[in-house]
Amino acid sequence: MQELIDSISTGFKKTPTEVLVFIFLLGGFLFVFLSAFIIIKLVERYKLNKTLSRKYEKYVMVFRLTAREKNIIEEMARFLKNRNKKYLLLLNPKTFSATLHLLQREIKVKAEVLTSLKTKLGFNKARPHSIITDTRDLKLSMPVIIMHDKKIKISGTVSQSTEDSFVIALQEENREIKKNEDVVVFLHNFTGIYAFTVTVRENRGDSLVLNHSRQKERFQRREFYRKQVKLPVLLKKIDSSADPVQAFIVDLSAGGAAIHHPRMHIAKGDDLKIYFQKANDDIFYLNAEVVRAARNGTEISVRYGHLSEQYRDRIIGMINVQQ
């Protein structure tokens, strides 16, 4: 037993030189480990900043900002927690307004430049005269949807308007709606969704003559144009050369969508192309950003990028078909 104790104690007896060598080696190992860790983090940050920069430049091109407008955005970005996320200033009106307020404490931005910038970004507030109070306010060629008995939905456009009545040209002929029956006419502009209850004056088959009305309800876009669906689409990462893969939209609105079972690795912040196909083989795509990813990317929520009214109407039309 004594011999065993002596052999163990001998192992702890080191010369100063051996101790210094051990400390040097340990220090060298820690230095290499920390250096590698720092380099990895710096590379990750570089890649992230590069991705954010590309995203910003992409939206600058989409909105066709001038050099002066771009300079204003660069100045506003100084007030962000992460300056590299300046693309948010082009998409989020609250972030835009908050940083603009801070910037105007320092410098005066010309009103005409701000008006042009806000118009391009879609941040201008609705003017009072844009709010629809009467069916007499409807513009010619404005798309509408007519609902009858909460079952029949017919798409059409405003084709004529007089002092007492207006005419809706129907996309499909309809003879079921009778004279003196009430129908609901749905329409929208950027101030919201409107539902007018009107009385049918005449059914011409390919058009309806309706009495003017002020009896309306107004909705927010998001609360009205949202529907749980199972809509097949194709997905593709914007920066990928791979072929699109099939997925299903399970919740669709005019501002975004929830998508299940994408057959690719998708993470929050990825930019996607979503290809839609309507029944008439009309194919169109939208750019979208992933705002949430769950279950290893098999369930994602996306927010559309900048949408023209034309494409927003097409999405709304698809939602109405699914209802």
Closest alpha carbon to 198 in 178, 217, 214, 187: 214
Domain contains 12:
no
Residue 34 lies in a domain: yes
Q: What is the rounded average pLDDT of the residues 31-50?
A: 82
pLDDT at 297 over 70: no
Give the DSSP H/E element, type plus range, for residue 314: helix 309-322
CATH number at residue 262: 2.40.10.220
Q: Answer yes or no: do 99 and 31 share one domain.
A: yes
What b/e readout covers 55-78, taking b as 16+ CB neighbours within 10 angstroms? bbebbbeebebeeebeebbebbbe
Phi (first) and psi of residue 27, to 5 degrees: -60, -40
The secondary structure element, H or E, covering residue 34 is helix 16-63
Count of CB atoms within 10 A of residue 128's CB? 8
Digit-coded pLDDT (tens) for 185-229: 988 765 667 889 999 999 999 999 999 998 877 654 444 455 566
Q: Which two tokens stand for residue 231?
A: 């809509």
Mean confidence (pLDDT) of the chain = 78
Q: How many structural domains are present in the chain? A: 3
Query: Is 259 found in the same domain as 233?
Result: yes
Highest mean pLDDT among 140-149, 176-185, 218-227, 299-308: 176-185
Instruction: Give residue 313's pLDDT.
Output: 59
pLDDT for the residue numbered 204: 94
DSSP category for residue 110:
P
Q: Is 159 helix (H, G, I), strand (E, B) or coil?
A: strand
Residue 320: per-residue pLDDT: 52
Residue 280 has pLDDT above 80, yes or no: no
Q: Residue 295: phi, psi to the nearest 5?
A: 50, 55
- Regarding whether 117 and 24 lie in a shared domain, the answer is yes
pTM of the model: 0.38
Name the one residue in this structure whose structure tokens are 């082009």. 90
Q: What pLDDT, on a 0 to 100 scale, did the predictor assign at position 316?
A: 59
pLDDT digits (tens, 9 = 90+) for 43-76: 888 887 888 888 888 778 767 788 889 999 999 9
CA distance 104 to 11: 72
pLDDT digits (tens, 9 = 90+) for 88-121: 888 788 888 889 989 888 888 888 888 888 888 7
- Domain-embedded: residue 7: no
Q: Please indicate, yes or no, whether residues 316 and 272 belong to a single structural domain of this protein.
A: yes
Taken as a whole, the chain contains a residue count of 323
Q: What is the pLDDT of residue 245?
A: 85
- Which pLDDT value is given to residue 223? 42
Distance CA 190, CA 170 (A): 23
Look at residue 11 and tell me if it is in a domain.
no
Of residues 248, 244, 232, 229, the one with CA closest to residue 316: 229
Please, are residues 273 and 247 in contact by the beta-carbon 8 Å criterion? no
Can you give the residue range of the structural domain that contains 93? 17-125
Last residue of a domain, one of 87, 107, 125: 125
Asked whether residue 268 falls in the same domain as residue 241, the answer is yes
